Amino acid sequence: METIRISVRALVEFLLRSGDLDNRKDGFADKEAMQKGSRIHRKIQKSMGAGYRPECPLIYEKQFDHYTLRIEGRADGIFYKDGMDVIDEIKSTYTLISEITEPVPVHVAQAKCYAYIYALLNHKEQMGIQMTYCNLETEEIKRFNETFLMAELDNWFTDLICQYQKWADFQYLWRQKRNASMQGMEFPYPYRKGQKKLVADVYRTIIRGKQLFVNAPTGVGKTLSVLFPAVRAVGENKGDKIFYLTAKTITRTVAEEAFSILSERGLLYKVITLTAKEKMCVCDEVDCSPETCPRAKGHYDRVNDAVFELLNHSDTLSRDVVLEAADKAQVCPYEFQLDLATWVDAVICDYNYVFDPVVRLRRFFGEGMGKGEYLFLIDEAHNLVERGRQMYSAAVYKEDFLEIKKLIKPYVHDTKLARVLERCNRQLLAFKRECSKDYLELENVGNFLLSMMGLVGELERFLQDLGNGELRKKILEFYFSVKSFVNIYEIMDENYMIYARHTADGRFMLKLFCVNPADNLQECLNKGVSAVFFSATLLPVRYYKELLSVRKDDYAVYVESPFDPDKRKLILTNDVSTKYTRRSTEEYTRIASYICQTVGQKKGNYMVFFPSYQMLKDVNDIFQESFLPKVEADGGVQVLQQVSGMNETEREAFLDAFSLNSTDSETLIAFCVMGGIFSEGIDLDGERLIGALVVGTGIPKLDTEREILKEFYDRRGEKGFDYAYRFPGMNKVFQAAGRVIRTDEDTGVVVLLDERFRYRENLDLFPREWKTYSTCSVKTIADEVKEFWDRYP
């Protein structure tokens, strides 16, 4: 018999919510500050004496006709007092204890569930519940106690189960249909070279509950090769929900298309794509309060019915489908999509919905949420290293404290808020006076943290009484930066460095810098059963395994390219460099000459990738002035230039030019930035792109954090330069060069313009399909390219 599982917390939070959506209050609802809350819990539990039983698992099961409903949770504590057993529910908060006059109803409901389950299992006729609230800053405690007869609890809990039954019925019936649709389902296409083995490797990884790193060149069909075995594993009860995680919007589209292909083959699967709040909001400005948004008024009274209706009428929950249903029900579309995610089979979303401690989906990955049957498929996983560092780092600026103090002055007079702002400012000033070089490394900032913890509570109290408007937005933004700093400090370990420095715009910054995000990422991945990291450029794999996972038993596979290597001409140059000491008009003229001679051998579309916008502009200016006339002499030429901050319309127009010029009648040259929006995640197959020139080894710009990374790994006996500069730089090169060959029919030229590509350290990083290459100078490049196109006209 199938089992439908739900946690006690999820049950009460889902069924008992009501009223308005109001981020002025909801923004402070989750007060348990990561590990700080956990430590406070343990401290309280230890103080309760020998008869106190902490962290008690409780399970309730009820059999229906076709399935068993299993409700499970963990009571913070159980103890005996005044002749009865008492459930202790502990909640940590930044709110002043004196301001808590009654327990939160949902917290009480959670405790009542535990009390009922415990009483049922142990044949008790009455139970006590104790709500324990503890201030994270002062550790002051307030308790609320109630007593319930078992008959009361039984009636209340039975009603709760009745409310939930229609949702459990839905889950059971849908899973039967979904799993039946997979019976006999085969891979939708003939397997390409290496694809069948990849499918098998992914499947074995999932059923063993392991993690897999996949380096698979473009053209293998990575998305379907990873998705298909994951779907089959779900159908065999080896997982319950797929999270397909991406870094860019375009890769989300690829995942949607893959699900669509499987759907055409008969698969029944409910899939949602999560979209950022700014893109979902129907108001002119994002402000989730009942005073400014009519949909926020009574949102929770309508949203569950809207979720149930849409789930029963649609399987593919795209942005447009969600917006239409949200409009019909007059609910917030952003919050609506998050509720829908609870009930679907697959969620396509950005990395941050799983990993970011601020944004992640708390219904799945929040503090106190148990392990789920989740399968994580992480696309373009090379991007997760830098994203991980960003998500688990936090910074504050001294000037912000003074600005906030000035802003609140008309509203408060000699309050604790003003005093704690000044205290934080003075502590930052002391760090500033110490910082006489590029940056100041600090062992710890414990005293500053205590001030910041006090500031969190004071800001919350100020915001609770502050109306909407520009002031509230500024205070709220500051509040979240302060709270993020406090929360990140609580998870710091040996993978962090604390430093302070003067920024380029004249401000003074204190930062908690996550050098290696692996521990934090792994903590999130441990909420599921298996994870697959895949990309065309996970090289060297040891580097990515070290920065994305802490497991020692991870698998890794290298999928061979399915394409004929002879149809790609890889050329390394020996007389050009992008080193800072070599950058000059003469060097840029040589680069422009390379571009001219390469594109001059065959009309078509080309991309030229540069390490910076400035070099792009400098070389393009020389090219257009001195070399463009030579190319134009042979026919029409169009030159495009990527600019910083292009909007979606401009990006589409840029890429559309490649489709419009997909014949050999004209030459298109697009000057782009390595690591930018056009260097990865885009498909320009066939005649839409026949060549790419990559200028430089992609080494990131020298800056404070890169030097901190280098020093961090040097101290550990690793090659710090590789970790900070070479590995991320070469990844950009591989991504840019990978734009050229996308299908079996493609032919193209890749020219690497920097003599450093011939260094052994860089050659050793080349993918296997790059083992054959030629070298040239500016005098011989034309002959090299012409000889190739003579073979593949």
| Domains held by the chain: number | 3
Is 186 a member of any domain?
A: no
Identify the DSSP state of 771: S
Q: Say yes or no: 48 and 153 in one domain.
A: yes
Task: Choose among 563, 515, 446: nearest CA to 194.
Answer: 563
Q: Can you give the CATH number for the domain in which 120 is found?
A: 3.90.320
**What is the model's pLDDT at position 230?**
98
Which range, 214-218, 354-358, 390-394, has the best average confidence (pLDDT)?
A: 390-394
Residue that has been written with the tokens 């994580």 in this structure: 376
Is 546 a member of any domain?
A: no
d(CA 708, CA 513): 9
Q: Say yes or no: 576 and 510 in one domain.
A: no
d(CA 104, CA 144): 11
Q: Band of the pLDDT at 94, cuts 50, 70, 90?
A: confident
Tell how far CA 333 is from the center of its chain.
Answer: 20
Task: Choose among 333, 299, 328: nearest CA to 317.
Answer: 333
Q: 281 in helix, strand or coil?
A: coil
**What is the model's pLDDT at position 80?**
95
- pLDDT higher at 72 or 743: 72
> pLDDT (tens digit, 9 = 90+) per residue, 169-199?
999 999 999 999 998 899 999 998 889 999 9
β-bridge pairing 440-442 and 667-673: unpaired
Average confidence (pLDDT) over 552-579: 94
Q: Say yes or no: 620 and 705 in one domain.
A: yes
Q: Band of the pLDDT at 33, cuts 50, 70, 90?
A: very low
Q: Say yes or no: 570 and 640 in one domain.
A: yes
Where a domain ends, among 135, 170, 205?
Answer: 170
> pLDDT (tens digit, 9 = 90+) per residue, 686-697?
889 999 999 999
pLDDT > 70 in the chain, percent: 97
Q: Say yes or no: 609 and 715 in one domain.
A: yes
Average confidence (pLDDT) over 202-220: 94
Q: Say yes or no: 583 and 697 in one domain.
A: yes
d(CA 324, CA 507): 45
Is 184 a member of any domain?
A: no
Q: Can you give the CATH number for the domain in which 705 is found?
A: 3.40.50.300
Q: Can you give the CATH number for the domain in which 496 is found?
A: 1.10.275.40
Q: Say yes or no: 404 and 504 in one domain.
A: yes
**What is the model's pLDDT at position 341?**
96
**What is the model's pLDDT at position 34?**
46
**Which positions ≥6 away from 282 have C-beta within 8 Å?**
295, 323, 326, 327, 333
Helix (H) or strand (E) run with residue 349 in it: strand 346-350
Task: Choose among 374, 357, 666, 655: nearest CA to 519.
Answer: 357
Q: Say yes or no: 35 and 134 in one domain.
A: yes
Q: Say yes or no: 611 and 754 in one domain.
A: yes
pLDDT > 90 in the chain, percent: 78
Is 256 a member of any domain?
A: no
Q: Band of the pLDDT at 332, cuts 50, 70, 90?
A: very high
d(CA 427, CA 439): 17
> pLDDT (tens digit, 9 = 90+) per residue, 333-387?
999 999 999 999 999 999 999 999 988 888 888 765 668 899 999 999 999 999 9
**By the 8 A CB rule, do 5 and 341 touch?**
no
Is 526 a member of any domain?
A: no
Residue that has been written with the tokens 């399909």 in this structure: 769
d(CA 430, CA 14): 48
Is 270 a member of any domain?
A: no
Is 211 a member of any domain?
A: no
Average confidence (pLDDT) over 594-619: 96
Q: Say yes or no: 746 and 626 in one domain.
A: yes
d(CA 23, CA 287): 8
Q: Is the pLDDT of residue 625 over 90?
A: yes
Alpha helices in 465-534 (DSSP H): 470-490, 518-525
**What is the model's pLDDT at position 43?**
87
Q: Say yes or no: 508 and 573 in one domain.
A: no
Structure tokens at 524: 């999130």
Burial level of 159, CB count in 10 A (0-12/13-18/19+)?
Answer: exposed
Q: Band of the pLDDT at 23, cuts 50, 70, 90?
A: confident
Task: Choose among 265, 767, 778: nearest CA to 541.
Answer: 767
Mean pLDDT over all residues of the chain? 92
**What is the model's pLDDT at position 358?**
86
Residue that has been written with the tokens 């029919």 in this structure: 745
**What is the model's pLDDT at position 634?**
77
Where a domain ends, among 452, 480, 514?
Answer: 514
Q: 630 in helix, strand or coil?
A: helix
Range of the domain at 650: 565-791
Q: Say yes or no: 149 and 37 in one domain.
A: yes
Identify the DSSP state of 84: E
> Cα-flanking dihedrals φ and ψ of residue 373, to 5°?
-85, 60
d(CA 352, CA 363): 14
